[in-house]
């Protein structure tokens, strides 16, 4: 708890390199080049030839390579774990959780791609009975991926693994805070696909990301803040480059009267504090029905008080990765307290850069920053509501709509259905992110498009539809030979089939 906090963002040296820093100590982890427009464009160009090679391998060939990559990553897991912890500061267990999910998703994407995207027959319908219809999903070409630092492997791999499984080449720009993790993933991939640069990494700051948006990629998959998401979308609009935008959230957890209160308290504490609260779909707001509120707050306080951040691998959670986020967290806590909220665990004194100790706030006005804006720290706002209807209303009141959690023994599915967001976990927290078959993504200010699952594979492909005429039809309306008798018969058939 006594290490020096990094003093600012990494700087560029004479060789146009920047350093990634360990947020626990401020020590340099490694240097990486600042790639400019020309280098980014060259990577995308090289990716184009590589994409043709990769597409040519077919589903089976790609699966074999992706499986080999997965096995290599598993063999080198300890190395990758250490690197994730060094660049983000996260505890060993938080890094393990992240990487276990990376491997599971990579396995799923490689295995399912053929079934989801491969050519299949489609029923041609009654009017087109003489045609065979088929559909397949083809790769887009070169996909640009821009990722954040909070889950430097799991989050971008939600795009990278699925885009590769769909047959695309990828150029990845990791966050300036976690470039080494991106480089590690790409170097491991190159060991199992040495022929062409199918998966490349470009490093640098926001400008490198902006260059990727303008470099002629066939799709840009962005994960990061809503503010940067807007810039990315605007940049991509100039070239009509399609975008996938996964942005921030302010995810609610609802505790109903019939909830297992002990389990709900545990979920709120873990969901709000693990990874130092730096989770896009982490729990930030809790709405608890009056009848169980006081017991819930007591349990949350007891559990949260036991947790300590630290730089040692066995710490409960690590530091705040991005130095300027500390001020955001401090301002949210100060604003909540100034508006009449109460801290039942911690308070402003909990903010001790680079660490923030757990803070649990209650009775916070709904227009306070700690309720309306993403805090991204180990803080929780717990507010009392009269009933679940009020909880749902408040949960749905923000422009964000990423994920949500519901604790209720009997009404979980009903409440989940009423929430305006991309994913809901009932009686557990964040479970949806660990099910590779489920799509992940938000609505509103949380973005659009989906990673993971079948939708996540189709996100990186375009539909290619083909009909083949098998024999001449008695009634063919699509020729000038049709005659008005044919058309009258077709209409009679339509009335018969669809008019009742």
**Residues lying near ligand NDP in the complex (CB under 6 A):** 146-151, 155, 173, 175-176, 205-206, 209-210, 213, 223-225, 228, 231-232, 246-249, 280, 322, 374, 402, 442
Which residue, 121 or 324, is less far from ligand NDP as judged by CB? Answer: 324
Which residue, 105 or 173, is less far from ligand NDP as judged by CB? Answer: 173
One DSSP character per residue, 221-276 reads EEES-HHHHHHHHHHHHTTT--EEEE----EEEEE-TTS-HHHHHHHHHHHHHGGG
Q: How far is 310 from 313, CA to CA, in rounded Å?
A: 8
Rounded to a whole number of angstroms, the minimum distance from the CB of residue 363 to ligand NDP is: 26
Which residue sits closest to ligand NDP, CB atoms considered?
A: 209
Of the residues 246, 357, 374, 459, only one is catalytic, namely 246
462 is written with which tokens? 């375009």
Of the residues 236, 280, 284, 459, only one is catalytic, namely 280
Rounded to a whole number of angstroms, the minimum distance from the CB of residue 95 to ligand NDP is: 15
Q: Cβ(181)–Cβ(174) under 8 Å?
A: yes
Rounded to a whole number of angstroms, the minimum distance from the CB of residue 334 to ligand NDP is: 21
Q: Cβ(222)–Cβ(241) under 8 Å?
A: no
Which residue, 91 or 408, is less far from ligand NDP as judged by CB? Answer: 91
Which residue, 225 or 434, is less far from ligand NDP as judged by CB? Answer: 225
Residue 32 φ/ψ region, left for φ over 0, alpha for ψ in the -120 to 50 degree band, beta for the rest? beta
Strand partners, 121: 134
The question of whether 373 is a catalytic residue gets the answer no
329 is written with which tokens? 């967290």
Q: How far is 74 from 421, CA to CA, in rounded Å?
A: 33
Rounded to a whole number of angstroms, the minimum distance from the CB of residue 311 to ligand NDP is: 21
Rounded to a whole number of angstroms, the minimum distance from the CB of residue 248 to ligand NDP is: 3
Non-local (6+) Cβ contacts of 194 within 8 A are none
Helices (H) and strands (E) in the chain, counts: 16, 22
Rounded to a whole number of angstroms, the minimum distance from the CB of residue 221 to ligand NDP is: 10
CB neighbourhood size of 76 (10 A): 14
The question of whether 257 is a catalytic residue gets the answer no
Pairing of strands 379-385, 359-362: parallel
Which residue, 155 or 168, is less far from ligand NDP as judged by CB? Answer: 155
Q: Supply the DSSP symbol for 317.
A: B
Q: How far is 193 from 185, CA to CA, in rounded Å?
A: 12
Which residue, 412 or 444, is less far from ligand NDP as judged by CB? Answer: 444
Residue positions annotated with a catalytic role: 246, 280
């Amino acid at each position: 708890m006594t290490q020096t906090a990094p003093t600012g963002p990494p700087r560029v040296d004479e060789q146009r390199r920047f350093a990634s820093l360990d947020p626990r100590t401020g020590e340099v982890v490694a240097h990486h080049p600042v790639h400019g427009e020309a280098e980014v464009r060259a990577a995308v160009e090289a990716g184009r030839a590589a994409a043709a090679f990769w597409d040519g391998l077919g589903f089976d060939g790609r699966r074999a390579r992706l499986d080999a990559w997965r096995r290599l990553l598993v063999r080198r897991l300890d190395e990758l774990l250490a690197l994730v912890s060094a660049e983000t500061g996260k505890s060993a267990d938080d890094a393990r959780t992240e990487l276990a999910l990376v491997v599971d998703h990579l396995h799923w994407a490689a295995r399912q791609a053929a079934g989801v995207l491969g050519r299949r027959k489609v029923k041609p319908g009654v009017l087109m009975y003489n045609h065979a219809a088929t559909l397949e999903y083809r790769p887009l070409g070169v996909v640009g991926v821009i990722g954040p630092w909070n889950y430097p492997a799991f989050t971008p791999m939600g795009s990278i693994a699925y885009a590769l499984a769909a047959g695309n080449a990828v150029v990845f720009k990791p966050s300036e805070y976690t470039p080494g993790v991106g480089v590690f993933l790409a170097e491991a991939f190159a060991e199992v696909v040495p022929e062409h640069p199918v998966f490349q990494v470009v490093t640098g700051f926001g400008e490198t990301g902006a260059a990727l948006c303008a470099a002629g990629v066939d799709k840009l998959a962005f994960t990061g803040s809503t503010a940067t998401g807007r810039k990315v979308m605007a940049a991509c609009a100039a070239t009509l480059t399609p975008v996938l935008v996964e942005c921030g959230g302010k995810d609610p957890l609802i505790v109903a009267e019939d909830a297992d209160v002990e389990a709900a308290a545990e979920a709120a504490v873990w969901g709000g504090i693990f990874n130092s609260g730096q989770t896009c779909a982490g729990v930030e707001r809790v709405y608890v029905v009056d009848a169980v509120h006081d017991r819930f707050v007591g349990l949350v306080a007891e559990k949260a008080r036991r947790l300590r951040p630290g730089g040692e691998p066995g710490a409960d959670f690590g530091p705040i990765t991005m130095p300027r986020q500390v001020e955001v967290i401090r301002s949210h806590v100060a604003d909540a307290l100034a508006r009449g909220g109460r801290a039942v665990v911690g308070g402003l004194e909990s903010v001790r850069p680079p660490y923030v100790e757990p803070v649990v706030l209650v009775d916070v006005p709904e227009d306070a920053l700690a309720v309306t804006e993403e805090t991204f720290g180990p803080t929780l706002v717990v507010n009392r509501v009269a009933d679940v209807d009020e909880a749902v209303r408040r949960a749905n009141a923000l422009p964000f709509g990423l994920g949500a959690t519901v604790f209720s023994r009997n009404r979980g599915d009903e409440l989940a259905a009423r929430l305006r967001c991309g994913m809901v976990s009932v009686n557990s927290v964040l479970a949806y992110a660990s099910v590779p078959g489920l799509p992940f993504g938000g609505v509103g200010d949380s973005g659009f498009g989906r990673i993971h699952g079948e939708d996540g594979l189709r996100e990186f492909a375009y539909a290619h539809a083909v009909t083949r005429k098998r024999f001449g039809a008695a009634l063919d309306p699509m020729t000038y030979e049709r005659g008005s008798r044919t058309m009258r018969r077709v209409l009679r058939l339509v009335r018969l089939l669809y008019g009742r």
